[in-house]
Amino acid sequence: MKKTNSLPIFALGAAISGHAYAIHVDGNINEWLVSNTTWAAKAGIESTVEDWTRTGNGYLNPGYGGQAYDAEALYATIESGKLFIALATGHNPQTLTSGNNYGAGDFAIDFGKNGSYELGINYLNPSATQAAAAIDRFGVQGGVYKNPIWALGLWGDNGAYKKSEHPTSLLDGTKIGDAFMVVNYVGVTGYGQYQTDVHYFYEMSLDLSLLYNAGWDGMAFNIHWTENCANDSILVDPPGAVPEPGSIALLTAGLLGLAGMRRRKTAR
């Protein structure tokens, strides 16, 4: 893992926030992973783990590809007004969409968990120059988009070819802000059920205000990730998707304070 790169980023994040979050967005998952064999996370971090068991002919559900396309574990937590997301995958983030290769998709959020994805967090492949497929070139790294237009993968939930039920990459949308995203581009071993397999990590955080901007009202939501083929997709449902009582109390106190000032002004 690129420890030399991650340390200054963490130091900067700590200096800005002055708050030690459970997930440090630094491309290193060791601070919050409880077991690097089962992918279990610390309490309060919701997880979905789908480590490919190496059985069958590389079948991942709904498509194929084995470890190179394994969407293994997706994590989410909400803390101090921010949504944190982390992904562990066998898919190399610098893969470009070409021929039988498919690049990494973006992170899609479905408010209400009803199959419509209202918010996208963009991953931009650093290898995607003008010559790359347009699907790998959209937007900026970590850009947060509402009104998203999604490219759809090759597979549906029932395994039918070209059923296109999975949002893969953003093709268009209205940019409303930025997530802080760090990707570990150097594959590492020593994780998962098969410790010699290579894994890559994505970590990010974004303000909940961006979710509200895109139409969220505190309802439950899913986070989805897959490759541009949608050979393996993964969903996680974050815990505590409601504003924290502390922040509501502060907001209420602030509003009451304003109302009080206004009354005094009127009385004068």
List contacts with Ca ion (CB under 5 A). 24, 26, 28, 51-52, 70, 72, 106, 110-112, 114, 116, 122-123, 169, 203
Least distance (Å) between residue 160 CB and Ca ion: 22
Is-contact 107 123, C-beta < 8 A? yes
Give the Cα separation of 92 and 78 in Å (integer).
Answer: 27
Q: To the nearest whole angstrom, how small is the minimum distance from the Cβ of residue 115 to Ca ion?
A: 7
* Strands of the sheet with 143-152, listed across from one edge: 167-178, 143-152, 119-121, 107-111, 221-226, 233-236
To which H or E segment does residue 210 belong? Answer: helix 208-213
Angstrom distance (rounded) from CA 72 to CA 53: 10
Q: Which of the 8 DSSP states describes residue 69?
A: G
Number of H helices, E strands in the chain: 3, 11
Answer whether the bond into residue 62 is a cis peptide, omega within 30°.
yes
Q: Which is nearer to Ca ion, 154 or 211 (CB)?
A: 211
Q: Give min distance, CB of 238 to Ca ion, in A.
A: 14
Q: Select from 203, 190, 65 the least CA-distant residue to 121.
A: 203
* Nearest residue to 188 (alpha-carbon basis) of 201, 174, 169, 177: 201
If the CB atoms of residues 217 and 266 are measured against Ca ion, the closer one turns out to be 217
- Please state the closest distance from residue 158 (CB atom) to Ca ion, in A: 20
- Nearest distance from residue 96's CB to Ca ion, in Å? 12
For Ca ion, the closer of residues 60 and 154 by Cβ is 60
Beta pairing partners, 203? 86, 182
State which amino acid sits at residue 184: N
Shortest distance (Å) from residue 92 CB to Ca ion: 13
Q: Shortest gap between Cβ of 254 and Ca ion (angstroms)?
A: 31
Which of residues 128 and 154 has its CB atom nearest to Ca ion in the complex? 128
Please identify, using beta-carbon distances, which residue of 24 and 255 lies nearer to Ca ion: 24
Q: In terms of CB distance, is 51 or 227 closer to Ca ion?
A: 51
Compare residues 39 and 253 and give the one whose CB is closer to Ca ion: 39
Which residue has the CB atom at the shortest distance from Ca ion?
Answer: 116
